[in-house]
Amino acid sequence: MATTARDDAGGSVIGFAIVFVSFVFRGFIPAPFWVWLVVLAAGILFAVKDGISGLDLITLGLAGVMIVGPLLVDAATPNPPDLEEPIPVPTGYGFELDPDSTNLEHLYESGSMTPKRAEFAAVEVVDHYVNGLTPEWTVVDRQETPELLSATLREGDSSRGIGISVYVVKRMGRPTFLDLRIQARYCTDDLPGQTDEVSCMTAPISDIVRYPGGEPVVPSPQPSPGPLREPVPVPSGYGFFLDTGLSKEDMHAYRSTIMSIPEARRARHLVMRYYRQALDGWVIVENAERILVVRDPDSMDGLAIQADWSVWDGEDRTGVLGLSIKAISCQEKDYCGNWLAVGA
């Protein structure tokens, strides 16, 4: 009888130890969700195989938190559905679908036109979407620069949004044309510290496929902290668009519109300052000119943010700003050793 009681207690202790260690070290070990489910299942089986005791109830409670928590987070920030264009692209500009389009972003290239005509056409294209979608859709943001015009719209009070960006592409010795990008956005008015203000941002990326066609764009990710959920939108005014060729579940890569070299240098400084201010409530782990590493104060989850400019298309007069945001796991409260993987 005594031996049986000790065996029962031993199973409860082993089960509790497995679940507790998983609970503590999950933030340090980047493994897929299903791996943790297998570990938790083993711990629960050890705990309840000979009946349920008080310690077993604690074990079941911890396991429940580990299972339900990520599901609640996923429900709170869902992946956007495949992009469905609410109205057709405007006619009269010769727009053709680019083969690099995906289910998250549709790319179009217009026919050739004069530079002056292209500048007027860019305004007309953005007006086509703003006028054609309102009042059912609300304009959340609109930006205009000589080379880029953009608008972000939200459908009613839903989380569905789209981003419209029109670039006037001018290259020496080559015809001018319009580059039209339509991107799925996730909209919310529940961002901390931004009451009564709607924000539309890139939602967690998963299962990006070619559009049309369906071929995968992003290979199956290696074990990582999980899909990146950007806590704040990318800064406006720079024409940032998602580079789906470089982005993956745990890292979003953006590229700005073309600008002068001095503008690109200044933009890098301002973008990094934006993130330092917007993420003021996060713990700063690394703070440098081009790199910002922060940790969520309530967990071991972190972000590595990197911004830098580069010369555009081999010319010494223009540049672009690259922005990378990567989800990372911190090993200690003030140490995140894998932040160097930004952009990798």
Packing angle between helix 54-76 and helix 2-25, nearest 10 degrees? Answer: 20
Predicted confidence (pLDDT) at residue 116 exceeds the cutoff of 80: yes
Distances in Å between the Cα of 315 and the Cα atoms of 134, 192, 260, 276, 311 are 40, 42, 10, 31, 6
Burial of 309 (0-12, 13-18, 19+ CB in 10 A): buried
Residue 343 pLDDT level (bands cut at 50, 70, 90): very low
Beta strands 251-255 and 96-97 are: unpaired
Digit-coded pLDDT (tens) for 62-102: 777 766 666 555 555 555 557 788 899 999 999 998 888 88
Percent of the chain at pLDDT exceeding 70: 71
- Give the list of residues 6+ apart from residue 296 with CB closer than 8 angstroms, or none: 282, 283, 302
Strand extents, DSSP E, the chain? 96-97, 105-109, 137-144, 148-155, 160-171, 174-188, 199-201, 241-242, 251-255, 259-260, 283-287, 291-295, 301-311, 318-329
Nearest Cα neighbor of 46 from 14, 5, 4 is: 14
Residue 222 pLDDT level (bands cut at 50, 70, 90): very low
d(CA 248, CA 105): 14
What pLDDT is stored for residue 306 in this prediction? 93
* pTM recorded for the entire structure: 0.54
Instruction: Tell me the DSSP string of 206-220.
Output: ---BBTTT--BSSPP
